Amino acid sequence: MNPSMTTTAFELPGYRVVKTFGVVRGIIVRSRSIIGTIGAGLQTLVGGNITILTDLCEKTRQHALELCLQHARDLGANAIIGLRYDATEIMQGVTEVLCYGTAVLVEPTPA
């Protein structure tokens, strides 16, 4: 599945939904390493963007999206609509990131 066939909207312009497979998700649970925690702590002293944590968050969200896309592919979908992310701190320093949406089969709308 092409990642461009995902949207936070509930329709893809130029396509129509021909089958709905239901909710798909990708879940990642991550913790910060001691080195990352120390590095982020040092970056807070300077202020601004905490790049160590920004990179960790971006990689975690990307991994959750990849799992969600795989779940949709496994069902036979070629698109995901209503895509969302959610994050929950499970315990101090441990966060769950959830990517979810509705897996659908779409086809181009006639011109």
Task: Give the percent of the chain with pLDDT over 70.
Answer: 82
pTM of the predicted model as reported, rounded to 2 decimal places? 0.82
Rounded Cα gap, residues 6 and 16, in angstroms: 13
At 33-84, the pLDDT tens digits run: 555 555 555 556 566 566 777 788 899 999 999 999 999 999 999 999 999 9
Rounded Cα gap, residues 61 and 78, in angstroms: 20
Mean pLDDT of 88-104: 92
What's the pLDDT at 30?
Answer: 82
Domain boundaries, the chain: 3-108
> 91-106 burial string, b = 16+ CB within 10 Å, else e?
eeeebebbbbbbbbbb
* Domain 3-108 of CATH type 3.40.50.980: no
Going by the DSSP 8-state scheme, the letter that residue 78 receives in this structure is S
